[in-house]
Amino acid sequence: MTAFSPSRLARRGSGSRLPDRLFRGSSRVLAWALVVSLIGLGAMLLVNGWGAFATFGPAFVIGTDWDPVKNIYGALPFIVGTLLSSAIALVIAAPIGLLTAIFLAELAPRRVAIPLTFTIELLAAIPSVVFGLWGVFVLSPFLQSTIEAWAVDTLGWIPIFAGPPFGVGLFAAGVILSIMILPTIVSIAREVIGSIPNSQREAMYALGATRWEVVTRAVLPAARSGIAGAIILGFGRALGETMAVTMVIGNAQSIPQSLFDQAQTIASQIATTFNEAQVGIQTSSLIALGLVLLVITLGLNVGARVLVGRTVTGAGGR
């Protein structure tokens, strides 16, 4: 990404003077402290969550009952809730985000694009809990009386649109998540598109192609994997988002049957019940849930970064 050797001062005067050694040593210790905390986090989740895996085995992940009365814990409702709410967010945010990125990078004049980009990046700065507050008092009632009411009335015979519309639920969570991941998708996709060399566009214009044709035939194919990365990063952000989702998803601990059902994500389940969970298997099950979430988000993040890195360094060229 950057054209410098990573060890700029490394070879110079190694170990010569005490203050230098101390300085270097302490910076190394602090840098590795970060690595150690990350490992510690994973290890803590594994050790403290192990009880759940040991007790329930694979049933912990595929079990559908989260039943504190019988002390049986299956995480599937939360895994499904997490994936579904994030998937809804993606269905909404991916096309809008991609079109916006194209608009900002390819179509809009600079003086329009720059302030708009700036504005959209501000969206990322608004705290999750503020989105949640807005979601509870503005967005959910709005969705309930408009889209949800309409969908239940006209499409309600299709099971996934079955009512009743309560406002809070899976759909509201998906919508609020889509708003929250838009800045991620837009800014990365815009960057990726911007890194495609101009030579490709110019070849198309020379052939008399319209701007849109240039976008779809020259830019998008070249930016494909980077855009996929942007979308996956957005997905990853949605999976781990906690507060706004907790406030609007309806906190029902069962697998949702309809778009408008109440549900629960892994993060929202931990947020609402960890402080109250009984010491022992219930707590350990919640921590094990955290481990599942960590594995899913880490896998996606690492994968997405590889994809984005490939496009930006490959096509961006030096």
Partner 1 sequence: MTTPMAASTEAATRARLTGRRTASRRAVTDRLMRTLALVATLLCVLPLGAVLIFVTINGIGALNIDLLTKAPRALGNGGGALNAIAGTLQMVPLAALIAVPVGVAGGVYVSEFAGARAGRVVRFAADVLVGVPSILIGLFVFTFLVLPFKQFNAFAGSVSLALIMVPVILRTTEEMLGLVPRSLREGALALGIPVWRTVLSVVIPTGLGGILTGVMLAVARAMGETAPLLFTALGSRLVNVGDFGRPMDALPLFIYMNARQPYEAQNQQAWGAAFLLMLIVLIINVAVRARTWGRQIGG
Partner 2 sequence: MTVISTKRIGVLALAAAVLAGACSSAATPAPTTAPSAAASGVASAAPGASVPLPPSANVTLTGTGATFPVPLYDVWNDAFNFKYKTVQVDYKGIGSGGGIKAITEQTVDYGASDAALTEAAIAALPAGSKVLHIPTVLGAVVVIYNVAGLDLNLDGTTVANIFLGKITKWNDPAIVALNSGATLPDLAIKVVHRSDGSGTTNAFTTYLDTVSPDWKSQVGKGTDVKWPTGIGAAGNDGVAGGVKGDANKGAIGYVELNYATTAKLTSAKIKNAAGKFVAGSTAGVTAAAEGAVASFPADFRQAPIINGAGDATYPVAAYTYLLVYQAQKDANKAQALVAYIYWGLTDGQTTTGGLGYARLPEPIRVKALQQLHLITVNGTAVWP
Which residues, 41 to 80, sit near partner 2 by CB under 8 A?
A: 65-70
| Cβ–Cβ under 8 Å, residues 260 and 174 | no
**Minimum CB separation from partner 2 for residue 54, in Å?**
18
Q: Which stretch binds partner 1 (CB under 8 A): 59-67, 72-80, 131-139, 224-232?
A: 131-139
Verify binding: residue 245, partner 2, rule CB under 8 A: no
Alpha helices in 124-163 (DSSP H): 128-134, 140-143, 149-155
Residue 191: which of 117, 256, 251 has the closest Cα?
A: 117
Please tell me whether residue 146 binds partner 1 under the rule CB under 8 A.
no
- For the segment 169-198, give every residue that binds partner 2 (CB under 8 A): 169
Site for partner 2 in 136-175 (CB under 8 A): 140-141, 144, 163-164, 166-169
Out of partner 2, partner 1, none, what residue 131 binds, judged by CB under 5 to 8 A for its kind, is partner 1
Q: Which residues of 244-279 are buried (b: 16+ CB within 10 A; e: fewer)?
A: bbbbbbbbbbbbbebbbbbbbbbbbbbbebeeebee
Nearest to residue 315, comparing CAs of 223, 213, 230, 220?
Answer: 223
35 contacts partner 1 (rule: CB under 8 A): yes
* 3-state helix, strand and coil shares in percent for the chain, rounded to the nearest 5: 75, 0, 25
66: enclosing H helix or E strand? strand 66-67
State the Cα–Cα distance between residues 33 and 41, nearest whole angstrom.
12
Choose one: 50-58, 150-158, 195-203, 254-262; the region binding partner 1 (CB under 8 A): 195-203
Query: Is residue 253 at the binding interface for partner 2, with CB under 8 A as the rule?
Result: yes
- Which CB, 164 or 221, lies closer to partner 1? 221
Binding-site size for partner 2 (CB under 8 A) equals 31
Stretch that binds partner 2, among 15-23, 29-37, 84-92, 251-259 (CB under 8 A): 251-259
* Minimum distance of partner 2 from residue 55's CB (angstroms): 15
Distant-in-sequence, close-in-space partners of 146: CB < 8 Å, separation ≥ 6? none
Minimum distance between the CB of residue 30 and partner 2, rounded to whole angstroms?
A: 30
Residue 155 interacts with partner 1 (CB under 8 A)? no
The residues near 269 (Cβ < 8 Å, ≥ 6 apart) are 66, 78, 253, 286, 289
> Contact residues for partner 2 (CB under 8 A)?
65-70, 140-141, 144, 163-164, 166-169, 250-254, 262, 264, 272-273, 275-280, 283
